[in-house]
Amino acid sequence: MKNKIQELRKARKVTQQELADALSVTRQTIISLENGKYNASLTLAHKAAQFFGVTIEELFIFEGEENL
Amino acid sequence: MENFRLTIKKRIYFFILLSVIMVAGIIMLAAFGRANDGFNATSGILGAVLAIALGNVITAKIALGNEAKLKEMYIKYTDERSAQITKEASTTTFRVILLGLSAATIIANFLSETVSCTLSVCLAFIFMVYIAVSSYYNRKM
Protein backbone atom coordinates (compact mmCIF):
# COMPACT_ATOMS: atom_id res chain seq x y z
CA MET A 1 0.00 0.00 0.00
CA LYS A 2 1.40 3.40 -0.97
CA ASN A 3 0.94 6.49 1.17
CA LYS A 4 1.48 10.24 1.05
CA ILE A 5 2.87 10.58 4.57
CA GLN A 6 6.31 11.82 3.51
CA GLU A 7 4.82 14.22 0.99
CA LEU A 8 2.36 15.73 3.47
CA ARG A 9 4.90 15.76 6.30
CA LYS A 10 7.43 17.68 4.20
CA ALA A 11 4.74 20.07 2.93
CA ARG A 12 3.80 20.87 6.52
CA LYS A 13 7.49 21.10 7.59
CA VAL A 14 7.06 18.46 10.28
CA THR A 15 10.03 16.29 11.28
CA GLN A 16 9.74 12.50 11.51
CA GLN A 17 10.27 12.72 15.28
CA GLU A 18 7.49 15.31 15.68
CA LEU A 19 5.11 13.16 13.67
CA ALA A 20 6.13 10.08 15.65
CA ASP A 21 5.48 11.91 18.93
CA ALA A 22 2.10 13.13 17.70
CA LEU A 23 1.04 9.62 16.67
CA SER A 24 2.60 7.92 19.73
CA VAL A 25 4.84 5.65 17.68
CA THR A 26 8.61 5.40 17.28
CA ARG A 27 10.49 7.34 14.60
CA GLN A 28 11.44 3.98 13.08
CA THR A 29 7.74 3.28 12.43
CA ILE A 30 7.40 6.58 10.55
CA ILE A 31 10.52 5.74 8.49
CA SER A 32 9.12 2.30 7.63
CA LEU A 33 5.73 3.78 6.71
CA GLU A 34 7.32 6.37 4.45
CA ASN A 35 9.48 3.73 2.78
CA GLY A 36 6.45 1.52 2.24
CA LYS A 37 8.00 -1.29 4.30
CA TYR A 38 5.18 -1.31 6.82
CA ASN A 39 1.42 -0.91 6.48
CA ALA A 40 -0.27 1.06 9.24
CA SER A 41 -3.11 -0.41 11.27
CA LEU A 42 -6.55 1.15 10.98
CA THR A 43 -6.00 3.01 14.27
CA LEU A 44 -2.67 4.47 13.16
CA ALA A 45 -4.04 5.29 9.71
CA HIS A 46 -6.93 7.15 11.37
CA LYS A 47 -4.58 9.05 13.69
CA ALA A 48 -2.28 9.99 10.79
CA ALA A 49 -5.21 11.14 8.65
CA GLN A 50 -6.50 13.25 11.54
CA PHE A 51 -3.05 14.74 12.08
CA PHE A 52 -2.78 15.86 8.45
CA GLY A 53 -6.46 16.83 8.24
CA VAL A 54 -7.19 14.53 5.31
CA THR A 55 -9.22 11.35 4.85
CA ILE A 56 -7.67 7.89 5.13
CA GLU A 57 -8.31 7.36 1.40
CA GLU A 58 -6.38 10.53 0.59
CA LEU A 59 -3.44 9.47 2.76
CA PHE A 60 -3.26 5.79 1.86
CA ILE A 61 -3.58 4.44 -1.65
CA PHE A 62 -4.98 0.92 -1.71
CA GLU A 63 -3.62 -1.06 -4.64
CA GLY A 64 -5.46 -4.33 -4.17
CA GLU A 65 -4.40 -7.51 -2.39
CA GLU A 66 -0.76 -7.65 -1.41
CA ASN A 67 1.42 -10.57 -0.48
CA LEU A 68 2.99 -10.19 2.95
CA MET B 1 -1.12 6.93 30.91
CA GLU B 2 -2.52 5.83 34.28
CA ASN B 3 -3.34 2.42 32.80
CA PHE B 4 0.20 2.16 31.51
CA ARG B 5 1.55 3.08 34.96
CA LEU B 6 -0.46 0.13 36.31
CA THR B 7 0.91 -2.14 33.57
CA ILE B 8 4.46 -1.12 34.50
CA LYS B 9 3.76 -1.86 38.19
CA LYS B 10 2.46 -5.32 37.24
CA ARG B 11 5.56 -5.80 35.12
CA ILE B 12 7.76 -4.92 38.12
CA TYR B 13 5.95 -7.52 40.27
CA PHE B 14 6.38 -10.13 37.52
CA PHE B 15 10.12 -9.50 37.19
CA ILE B 16 10.59 -9.47 40.98
CA LEU B 17 8.85 -12.87 41.13
CA LEU B 18 11.05 -14.10 38.28
CA SER B 19 14.17 -12.82 40.10
CA VAL B 20 13.15 -14.63 43.30
CA ILE B 21 12.65 -17.89 41.37
CA MET B 22 16.02 -17.47 39.63
CA VAL B 23 17.85 -16.73 42.91
CA ALA B 24 16.17 -19.75 44.55
CA GLY B 25 17.16 -21.88 41.55
CA ILE B 26 20.80 -20.74 41.66
CA ILE B 27 21.04 -21.35 45.43
CA MET B 28 19.37 -24.78 45.13
CA LEU B 29 21.69 -25.79 42.28
CA ALA B 30 24.76 -24.55 44.12
CA ALA B 31 23.75 -26.38 47.30
CA PHE B 32 22.22 -29.61 45.98
CA GLY B 33 22.98 -29.72 42.23
CA ARG B 34 24.62 -32.88 40.91
CA ALA B 35 26.51 -31.71 37.83
CA ASN B 36 29.90 -29.97 38.29
CA ASP B 37 29.42 -29.48 42.02
CA GLY B 38 26.09 -27.85 41.43
CA PHE B 39 27.39 -24.86 39.52
CA ASN B 40 26.82 -25.75 35.88
CA ALA B 41 25.52 -24.22 32.66
CA THR B 42 21.98 -24.13 34.11
CA SER B 43 23.15 -21.78 36.86
CA GLY B 44 24.67 -19.58 34.18
CA ILE B 45 21.39 -19.41 32.27
CA LEU B 46 19.46 -18.70 35.48
CA GLY B 47 22.00 -15.96 36.27
CA ALA B 48 21.50 -14.38 32.86
CA VAL B 49 17.70 -14.42 33.29
CA LEU B 50 18.15 -12.91 36.77
CA ALA B 51 20.29 -10.10 35.32
CA ILE B 52 17.66 -9.40 32.61
CA ALA B 53 14.84 -9.43 35.20
CA LEU B 54 16.70 -7.05 37.53
CA GLY B 55 17.53 -4.79 34.59
CA ASN B 56 13.84 -4.63 33.71
CA VAL B 57 12.87 -3.85 37.31
CA ILE B 58 15.42 -1.00 37.51
CA THR B 59 14.33 0.46 34.12
CA ALA B 60 10.65 0.28 35.09
CA LYS B 61 11.30 1.87 38.52
CA ILE B 62 13.22 4.73 36.89
CA ALA B 63 10.42 5.26 34.35
CA LEU B 64 7.78 5.37 37.09
CA GLY B 65 9.60 8.27 38.74
CA ASN B 66 10.24 10.21 35.52
CA GLU B 67 7.35 11.39 33.33
CA ALA B 68 9.50 11.87 30.20
CA LYS B 69 11.01 8.39 30.48
CA LEU B 70 7.56 6.93 31.14
CA LYS B 71 6.21 8.53 27.94
CA GLU B 72 9.23 7.20 26.04
CA MET B 73 8.64 3.73 27.45
CA TYR B 74 4.91 3.99 26.62
CA ILE B 75 5.69 4.72 22.98
CA LYS B 76 8.18 1.84 22.80
CA TYR B 77 5.73 -0.47 24.55
CA THR B 78 2.70 0.42 22.42
CA ASP B 79 4.41 0.99 19.07
CA GLU B 80 2.44 -1.17 16.62
CA ARG B 81 5.41 -1.91 14.35
CA SER B 82 7.39 -3.29 17.32
CA ALA B 83 4.36 -5.36 18.32
CA GLN B 84 4.10 -6.70 14.77
CA ILE B 85 7.83 -7.57 14.75
CA THR B 86 7.46 -9.39 18.10
CA LYS B 87 4.47 -11.31 16.74
CA GLU B 88 6.29 -12.35 13.56
CA ALA B 89 9.44 -13.26 15.50
CA SER B 90 7.41 -15.32 17.98
CA THR B 91 5.68 -17.25 15.20
CA THR B 92 8.96 -18.02 13.44
CA THR B 93 10.66 -18.95 16.73
CA PHE B 94 7.75 -21.27 17.58
CA ARG B 95 8.03 -23.03 14.20
CA VAL B 96 11.80 -23.39 14.46
CA ILE B 97 11.53 -24.77 18.02
CA LEU B 98 8.86 -27.26 16.93
CA LEU B 99 10.98 -28.39 13.99
CA GLY B 100 14.13 -28.71 16.10
CA LEU B 101 12.36 -30.46 18.94
CA SER B 102 10.66 -32.92 16.58
CA ALA B 103 13.99 -33.75 14.92
CA ALA B 104 15.70 -34.05 18.32
CA THR B 105 12.95 -36.38 19.60
CA ILE B 106 13.42 -38.71 16.60
CA ILE B 107 17.23 -38.70 16.89
CA ALA B 108 17.14 -39.14 20.69
CA ASN B 109 14.95 -42.21 20.22
CA PHE B 110 18.02 -44.03 18.83
CA LEU B 111 20.34 -42.81 21.60
CA SER B 112 18.50 -42.61 24.91
CA GLU B 113 15.00 -43.61 25.91
CA THR B 114 14.92 -41.12 28.81
CA VAL B 115 15.94 -38.16 26.67
CA SER B 116 13.52 -39.18 23.90
CA CYS B 117 10.69 -39.52 26.41
CA THR B 118 11.50 -36.10 27.98
CA LEU B 119 11.55 -34.43 24.57
CA SER B 120 8.24 -36.10 23.59
CA VAL B 121 6.63 -34.79 26.78
CA CYS B 122 8.02 -31.31 26.05
CA LEU B 123 6.58 -31.49 22.51
CA ALA B 124 3.20 -32.63 23.82
CA PHE B 125 3.23 -29.86 26.44
CA ILE B 126 4.00 -27.21 23.79
CA PHE B 127 1.07 -28.47 21.67
CA MET B 128 -1.28 -28.42 24.67
CA VAL B 129 -0.28 -24.87 25.58
CA TYR B 130 -0.65 -23.80 21.94
CA ILE B 131 -4.15 -25.30 21.68
CA ALA B 132 -5.22 -23.75 25.01
CA VAL B 133 -3.85 -20.29 24.12
CA SER B 134 -5.34 -20.43 20.60
CA SER B 135 -8.78 -21.33 21.90
CA TYR B 136 -8.51 -18.52 24.50
CA TYR B 137 -7.80 -15.91 21.79
CA ASN B 138 -10.44 -17.48 19.54
CA ARG B 139 -13.04 -16.70 22.17
CA LYS B 140 -11.55 -13.32 23.04
CA MET B 141 -11.46 -11.95 19.49
Reduced to 3 states, what is the DSSP secondary structure of residue A61? strand
How far apart are alpha carbons A48 and A52 in whole angstroms?
Answer: 6
- Does the pLDDT of residue B85 top 80, yes or no? yes
Prediction pTM value:
0.73
Interface test with A, best of B81, B84, B85, B92 (most A CBs within 10 A): B81
Reduced to 3 states, what is the DSSP secondary structure of residue A15? coil
CB contact under 8 A, B82 and A40: no
B92-119 residue pLDDT tens: 999 999 999 999 999 998 998 899 999 9
- Does the pLDDT of residue B79 top 80, yes or no? yes
- For B43-52, the CB contacts below 8 A with 24+ separation are B46/B22, B47/B22, B49/B18, B49/B22, B50/B18, B50/B19, B50/B22, B50/B23, B50/B26
pLDDT given for residue B77 in this prediction: 87
Nearest to B17 by CA among B59, B56, B72, B61: B56
- The CATH number that applies at residue A27 is 1.10.260.40
Share of chain A above pLDDT 70, in %: 94
The number of C-beta contacts closer than 8 angstroms across A and B is: 27
Domain assignment of residue A59, yes or no: no
- Does the pLDDT of residue A38 top 90, yes or no? yes
**Residue span of the structural domain in which A9 resides:** 2-54
Domain assignment of residue A67, yes or no: no
Domain assignment of residue A65, yes or no: no
Mean pLDDT score, B76-99:
93
Domain assignment of residue A68, yes or no: no
How far apart are alpha carbons B79 and A37 in whole angstroms?
Answer: 15
CB A59 within 8 A of CB A4: yes
Chain A residue closest in CA terms to B88: A68
Domain assignment of residue A10, yes or no: yes
- Does the pLDDT of residue B28 top 80, yes or no? yes
Mean pLDDT score, B25-48:
79
* ipTM higher than threshold 0.95: no
CB contact under 8 A, B81 and A20: no
Measured between CA atoms, how close is A13 to chain B, in angstroms?
23
For chain A, the domain total comes to: 1
pLDDT given for residue B2 in this prediction: 81
Measured between CA atoms, how close is B75 to chain A, in angstroms?
5
Domain assignment of residue A21, yes or no: yes
Domain assignment of residue A63, yes or no: no
B112-134 residue pLDDT tens: 889 999 999 999 999 999 999 99
Measured between CA atoms, how close is B62 to chain A, in angstroms?
20
- Residue A65's pLDDT band, with cuts at 50, 70 and 90, is low
Mean pLDDT score, A37-65:
92
- Average pLDDT for chain A: 91
CB contact under 8 A, A41 and B80: yes
Share of chain B above pLDDT 90, in %: 67
Query: How many Cα atoms sit within 13 Å of B33 on the Cβ side?
Result: 16
Chain A residue closest in CA terms to B71: A24
- Average pLDDT for chain B: 90
Domain assignment of residue A61, yes or no: no
